[in-house]
Structure 1
Amino acid sequence: MKLALLSTLAAAAISANAHFTLQYIWVNGVDQGHNTDLRVPPNNNPVTDVTSTDLTCNVNGLSGAGVSTVSIPAGSNITFEWHQHDQRTGEDAISGGHKGPVQVYIAKAPSTAATFDGQGTVWTKIYSSGLLNPQTQQWATDVVNANNGIVVIPSSLPAGEYLLRAEIIALHVAQSYPGAQFVKITGGGNANPPKIALPGAYKPTDPGITINIYNNLQSYTAPGGPVWSG
């Protein structure tokens, strides 16, 4: 399986500082290198319009021209690493003010991942983590901030070239509504997972998009539907 990774930071009316971008992936514990196999956005500004094609793979993320791909076996562990700056500086990967869910989607390319723009009803959610502890208000972003996070590529996915889209939805100012990496998966199965469109599946009125997280929140429903078990 060959994957192309996409990074989207979505937010509602988010402030303009201390944002971050996906800059590294690890395949089965092996660092692939800085911005390797990534469709790198021009800056770290968030996407705030859930109807924009920028939601798919961040700004300028619809083209994979000049972006390399990485081959991985189906069933591999993928770890994502976000940073505020262009290199590892020893500081936290995510600003402490960013609270929200972390989600990962995958879409099979009709031919090559490099030429696939990710448009249409093509995306399958393979990972979602949101509000982990209502008492302490611990979110998935807190875990990523401390330990990154591991996602397993379903072993039943058919072999081929894919876009892998990692998303963080920053909810710290979401009370009102206002990059990509390539992977090739080998040795997969023959599953036909359910699919959604991005943009398309997210609505401004979704409870996971417009929400006040500072009102003793006890539960959270992420947008995009359930996770496919693989």
Structure 2
Amino acid sequence: MKAFFAALVSAAVTSVTAHYTLPDLILNGAASTDWEYVRQTQNYQDNMPLTDVTSDLIRCYENNTASSTSVATVDAGATVGFKANGDFYHPGYFSAYMSKASPEADSEEAGTSQTWFKIWQDAPTFTAGTNGQPGTLNFALESTDQFTFTIPPSLPSGQYLIRGEQIALHVAKTYGGAQFYLSCAQVNVANGGDGSPEPLVSFPGAYTGYEPGILIDIYDLPSNFTGYVSPGPAVWNQ
């Protein structure tokens, strides 16, 4: 009986450690403290992912902490990122979006309309099979605990949300199987330019869940597979 309960505890610990949150914004090469500039997400205690792309939670995994979260000042063209509370245990697709914040980055209303644009992505690469063997997908950021990207240099100054996301694809072969790990940081962009970010999308709305980059069996790719198709809009990084 003791062995049985020990096995249950071990399984529970493994389940939790296999999941993660994104609590830290990376600034000037260093991670902030947990939830300092990142809105605390609803999974801050259990690390569990989202799977419903139609839920309002797909925006920032809100925990109603916008007003109690600080706003970081960053320069257009600066390198920023997100650090997880553990390694990215699952293979997946990574992206970063931004949204002009109205009225301010620390308001619950920010990012609730069609204002989001993608500024970065890291998609798995495809290696074709040889001698009749199936091809494979390669995931560069697997087993790391952070990802970084550049604020577009021509982005106009002002307050924004930055949405960091990993779509884990290890059980994505059925609808609703893909796991979304995400959070939103609050920033004030300084020394910006006169760019016009596009295309703009909303969350929810950017994904249907049926995209080939979301609904995919990464362990049994079809014979005619030629490469991973990134979900969501094209990247704007001028």
TM-score by length of 2: 0.78
Residue by residue, what CA displacement relative to the aligned partner does 1:76-127 show, whole Å, maximum 9, x if unpaired?
Answer: 001321124xxxxxxxx222xx111000000011221011341121001000
- The structure whose residues are more often strand, as a share, is 1
Q: Paired residue for 1:163?
A: 161
Matches within 5 A, 1:151-190: 151-178=149-176, 179-190=183-194
What amino acid is the match of 2:159? E
Displacement of 1:146: 3.0
What amino acid is the match of 1:94? F
Q: Paired residue for 2:104?
A: 112
What amino acid is the match of 1:131? P
Q: Paired residue for 2:10?
A: none
Tell me if the contact between 2:88 and 2:145 (Cα under 8 Å) persists in the aligned partners.
Answer: no
Moved more, 120-129 or 213-222: 213-222
Displacement of 1:64: 0.6
Q: Paired residue for 1:51?
A: 54
Q: Paired residue for 1:196?
A: 201
Change (3 A) 1:45 1:140: same
Displacement of 1:223: 1.1
Tell me if the contact between 1:16 and 1:45 (Cα under 8 Å) persists in the aligned partners.
Answer: no
Change (3 A) 1:137 1:209: closer
Displacement of 1:34: 2.6
* Distance of 2:119 and 2:113 partners within structure 1: 18
Displacement of 1:189: 0.7
Q: Paired residue for 1:78?
A: 80
Tell me if the contact between 2:125 and 2:228 (Cα under 8 Å) persists in the aligned partners.
Answer: no
Identity %: 34
Displacement of 1:137: 3.1
Tell me if the contact between 1:158 and 1:191 (Cα under 8 Å) persists in the aligned partners.
Answer: yes
Q: Please state whether the residue corresponding to 1:54 is helix, strand or coil.
A: helix
Displacement of 1:229: 2.5
Displacement of 1:204: 2.1
Tell me if the contact between 1:99 and 1:172 (Cα under 8 Å) persists in the aligned partners.
Answer: yes
* Distance of 1:147 and 1:133 partners within structure 2: 23
Structure 1: 4+ residue segments shifted above 4 A: none
Tell me if the contact between 1:162 and 1:185 (Cα under 8 Å) persists in the aligned partners.
Answer: yes
Structure 2: any 5+ residue segments left out of the alignment?
Answer: 1-13, 129-135, 177-182
Q: Paired residue for 2:141?
A: 141
Q: Paired residue for 1:40?
A: 40
* Distance of 2:25 and 2:60 partners within structure 1: 16
What amino acid is the match of 2:112? Q
Tell me if the contact between 1:120 and 1:197 (Cα under 8 Å) persists in the aligned partners.
Answer: yes
Tell me if the contact between 1:104 and 1:128 (Cα under 8 Å) persists in the aligned partners.
Answer: yes
Q: Paired residue for 1:5?
A: none
* Distance of 2:126 and 2:35 partners within structure 1: 32
Q: Please state whether the residue corresponding to 2:95 is helix, strand or coil.
A: strand
Q: Paired residue for 2:233?
A: 225
What amino acid is the match of 1:51? T
TM-score by length of 1: 0.81
Match of 2:88 among 84, 87, 94: 94
What amino acid is the match of 1:78? V
Q: Paired residue for 1:210?
A: 215
